[in-house]
């Protein structure tokens, strides 16, 4: 009857043997924060007979994964007296019980007193889940180990981790003792430095710091950290041998519609034309966009998939338009890709113009990018959107244009030359 624990590294041993009552583990992806927590709980459940132990995950599906993992790999068969797949419950031979629960329905987390609690990806829980679980540790003087990848600073897990970091336990008052652990991905010897550096180059800095360095990155500012180099472009007239792509975000009469045209046969890419219109019906918008896109010989124009009527009207005018479905998954991906392009200065935007109308649009573009901020819901999820008083039409038109430029390059048509930082390659 045993817990099957593989070779441990020093930082894992330090956590498993920690004497503090509450352990708060903030870690990068694949830093072993979750498995280490399970090793700690598995050893406790077998060492102390008759205990009640809970592992809590974000959803029931995630909880089931841990139930199967413990039953197959962590606890030897002779240590398991019985189990229930429907209830995700293990009965151990020493009288201890190990149950697996979900944090997405906090009211189901009420029950008997707990001797141990492990919580996975706790930053993604509703605060109410922890507030419901915490009293269950009181009468049995149970301990808890909660781990998570960071999720900004404006959430309860970040607050508890920061308090634990500043807590220095002197050996007295064990009930109030806490300890904070910080494990970047690089702590895991199985993850090569090459993998980490590859991720650094492929992700926005804030996301890399959060996902791989395990840092609590402030979520008070904009999603977009725009390199100063980005604002060194200018409005340009169409060139006959150039290759262009476009993105647009259309609205009804009361809101703004925006379009962005990108020249993509140059590196960095260059935004050469953009603008907005308001209180214009769809038919008039379609006519205007068709004329502008034909002027630049736009190869691909991208917009929200649900603007089917506009797509059809532009297609009837011989404009190659593709729809992009903005879903809960694709929307953040689209925005993150734009953030990476802006942060790495892989595109140029007009920074100033002697034309008052163009300068106004530049200022609007700057304002939208600087004020596209996170909103945290009651459940702790983050949704990026325009700050109060700002629009997001330029943000999405630019994001669509960047995606369209990628598709334009992939298709390999048009453009007789490639210009890299001003040097022409034929």
Say how far apart CA 339 and CA 93 lie, in whole Å. 53
pLDDT digits (tens, 9 = 90+) for 316-361: 999 999 999 988 888 888 998 999 999 999 999 999 999 999 999 9
- Distance separating alpha carbons of residues 243 and 262, to the nearest angstrom: 8
Tell me the two tokens of residue 210. Answer: 């959060």
Give per-residue pLDDT as tens, 268-303: 999 999 999 887 787 888 999 999 999 999 999 999
Contact 264, 405 (CB under 8 A): yes
How confident is the model over 105-156, as pLDDT tens digits? 888 898 789 999 999 999 989 899 999 999 999 999 999 999 999 887 778 9
CA 130 – CA 103 distance, rounded (Å)? 8
Instruction: Please say if the pLDDT value at position 380 is more than 80.
Output: no
Q: Is the pLDDT of residue 16 over 60?
A: yes
Residue 209 has pLDDT above 60, yes or no: yes
Structural domains for the chain? 10-211 (3.40.50.300), 228-425 (3.30.420.240)
């Amino acid at each position: 009857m045993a817990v099957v624990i593989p070779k441990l590294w020093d930082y894992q041993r330090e956590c498993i043997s920690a004497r503090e009552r509450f352990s708060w583990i903030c870690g990068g992806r694949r830093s072993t924060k979750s498995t280490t927590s399970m090793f700690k709980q598995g050893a406790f459940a077998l060492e102390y007979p008759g205990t009640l132990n809970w592992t809590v995950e974000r959803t029931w599906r995630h909880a089931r994964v841990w139930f199967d993992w413990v039953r197959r790999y962590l606890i030897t068969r002779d240590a398991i007296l019985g189990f229930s797949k429907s209830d995700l419950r293990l009965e151990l031979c020493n009288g201890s019980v190990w149950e697996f629960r979900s944090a997405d329905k906090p009211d189901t987390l009420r029950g008997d007193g707990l001797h141990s609690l492990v919580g996975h990806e706790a930053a993604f829980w509703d605060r109410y889940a922890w507030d419901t679980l915490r009293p269950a540790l009181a009468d049995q003087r149970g301990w808890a180990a909660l781990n998570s990848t960071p999720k900004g600073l404006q959430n309860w897990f970040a607050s508890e981790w920061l308090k634990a970091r500043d807590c220095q336990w002197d050996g007295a008052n064990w009930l109030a003792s806490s300890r904070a652990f910080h494990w970047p991905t690089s702590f895991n010897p199985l993850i090569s430095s090459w993998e980490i550096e590859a991720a650094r180059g492929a992700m926005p800095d804030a996301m890399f710091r959060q996902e791989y360095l395990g840092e609590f990155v402030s979520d008070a500012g904009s999603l977009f950290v725009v390199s100063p180099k980005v604002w060194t472009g200018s409005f340009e007239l169409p060139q006959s041998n150039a290759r262009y792509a476009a993105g647009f975000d259309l609205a009804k009469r009361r809101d703004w519609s925006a379009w962005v045209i990108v020249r993509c046969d140059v590196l960095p890419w260059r935004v050469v034309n953009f603008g907005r219109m308001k209180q214009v019906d769809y038919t008039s918008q379609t006519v205007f966009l068709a004329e502008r896109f034909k002027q630049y010989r736009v190869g691909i124009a991208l917009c929200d998939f649900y603007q089917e009527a506009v797509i059809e009207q532009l297609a009837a005018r011989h404009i190659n338009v593709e729809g992009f479905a903005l879903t809960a998954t694709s929307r953040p991906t689209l925005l993150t890709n734009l953030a990476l392009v802006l942060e790495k200065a892989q595109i140029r935007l007009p920074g100033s113009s002697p034309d008052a109308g163009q300068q106004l649009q530049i200022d609007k573009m700057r304002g939208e990018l600087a004020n596209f901020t996170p909103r945290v819901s009651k459940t702790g999820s983050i949704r990026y959107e325009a700050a109060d008083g700002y629009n997001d039409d330029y943000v999405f038109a630019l994001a669509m244009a960047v995606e369209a430029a990628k598709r334009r390059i992939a298709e390999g048509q048009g453009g007789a030359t490639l210009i890299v930082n001003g040097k022409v390659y034929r």
